[in-house]
Amino acid sequence: MDLGIIGQAAGLFAVTNIDDILLLALFFAQGADHPGSTRRIVLGQYLGFAAILAVAVAAAFGATCLPESAIPYLGLLPLALGLKSAWQAWKDHRGGDEAEGEEPAKEGGPGPLEVAAVTFANGGDNIGVYVPVFATSGIGGMTVYAVVFLVLVAVWCFAGKFFATRPVIAKALARWGHILLPLALITIGLLILIEGGAFGL
């Protein structure tokens, strides 16, 4: 296995996914003290990134399963989830003890589909970077890229969990996470929409 390709794959992943560590830390902070939340977040991250890889590989082989003009509209996913999260935080804040009493009845923290949707939408621009790289690297090189990327998803999840559990960061996220997560999701959604020129923006 060519160490040069492994290094290139690792570098490409790091450059295109650096913002995911912040999102993962926010997700892990939101899921703190909820059993099974780590598993759901990691599963969601893998689902979302696998979808990014699938689209990029298909496009590299000439299949356009996701038209380029549709990519900017992926911003609607994190935007909608951010607004939903903000609404939930506002309801919890107003509900006080009532909301706390209802919490044990359901699983807390973000669900795998929510994490997957944000990961996929946030990775829309990654697809544009991955396609030419995959197209010129051949099946062998593409396989190496895919394997390295999937290994690094686990590293990213570990890093997000690590940051979310550092005492100083955990304290800040526990205090402000309910505001930061919706804000981050809404900002990402708007940036994807605006930079991609969705709705003529």
pLDDT in tens, 146-183: 999 999 999 999 999 998 888 887 777 777 767 887 88
pTM listed for this prediction: 0.75
CA distance 110 to 85: 10
Contact (CB, 8 A) for 5 and 144: yes
Question: Given this model, what pLDDT does residue 64 score?
Answer: 55
User: What's the whole-number mean pLDDT along residues 127-139?
Assistant: 84
Distance of CA 8 to CAs 40, 85, 124, 169, Å? 30, 36, 20, 31
CA distance 22 to 168: 15
- Reference 154, options 20, 53, 19; nearest CA is 20
**Per mean pLDDT, which range of 35-39, 99-103, 106-110, 130-134 is the poorest?**
99-103
Question: Given this model, what pLDDT does residue 95 score?
Answer: 65
Question: Given this model, what pLDDT does residue 201 score?
Answer: 64
User: What's the whole-number mean pLDDT along residues 82-105?
Assistant: 63
105 has pLDDT over 50:
no
118-127 confidence digits (pLDDT tens): 899 888 778 8
* Residue 151 neighbours by CB under 8 Å, 6+ apart: none
User: What's the whole-number mean pLDDT along residues 57-75?
Assistant: 73
CA angle 81, 29, 187 (to 5 degrees): 35
Question: Given this model, what pLDDT does residue 51 score?
Answer: 93
CA distance 126 to 50: 12
